[in-house]
Amino acid sequence: MTPQRVTLITLGVRDLARARAFYESLGWRDTRPQEGIVFYQLNGLALGLFPLADLAKDQTRNMSDLGTGAMTLAINYGSESEVDTAYAAAIRAGAAGLKRPEKVFWGGYSGYYADPDGHVWEVAHNPFWPLSEDGSLTLPTDEN
């Protein structure tokens, strides 16, 4: 079964530096500098800023299809097989498959489906992001 969990919220952004500056103005501090993506540690989950073009590509959709408010809700799992199981369950439940789970360039395993209203969910296994017992995600930092 799909756990009642959201571990990463991704915001597609037109200008990464501008978006980061906005959240920095709100007092948010990202975990560590990375090329092309910005991550924030939230309360047991993370939020990422990701260029809209990259997000569209990642979802194998046209950028124009994402529209204002483009957003992905991610559920991370402990293994690739759990991702496959979750993806299959979503399709059985009526989700529209956008990308069957596959190994991805950042070293993980990820797929995308859309719920009946077009909300895009990512199911993923990230070997560099261990999950806590309670399903929450604590981003790695330089200290750990």
Residue among 34 and 103 whose Cβ is closer to its own copies: 34
DSSP string, 2-17: --S---EEEEEES-HH
The CA distances from residue 133 to 7, 44, 98, 118, 136, in Å, are 13, 11, 29, 30, 7
Least gap, CB of 108 to its own copies (angstroms): 19
Q: Identify the burial level of 23 via C-beta atoms within 10 angstroms of its C-beta, where 0-12 means exposed, 13-18 middle and 19 or more buried.
A: middle
Residue among 68 and 144 whose Cβ is closer to its own copies: 68
Q: CA–CA separation, 140 vs 144, rounded Å?
A: 6
Least gap, CB of 21 to its own copies (angstroms): 8
Least gap, CB of 129 to its own copies (angstroms): 14
Give yes or no for a contact between 101 and 109, defined as CB atoms under 8 angstroms apart: yes
Task: Write out the residues near its own copies by the rule CB under 8 A.
Answer: 1-7, 9, 11-15, 18-19, 22, 25-29, 40-45, 47, 52, 65-71, 73, 89-90, 92-95, 115-120, 134-136
The CA distances from residue 142 to 5, 31, 96, in Å, are 26, 8, 38
Least gap, CB of 55 to its own copies (angstroms): 11
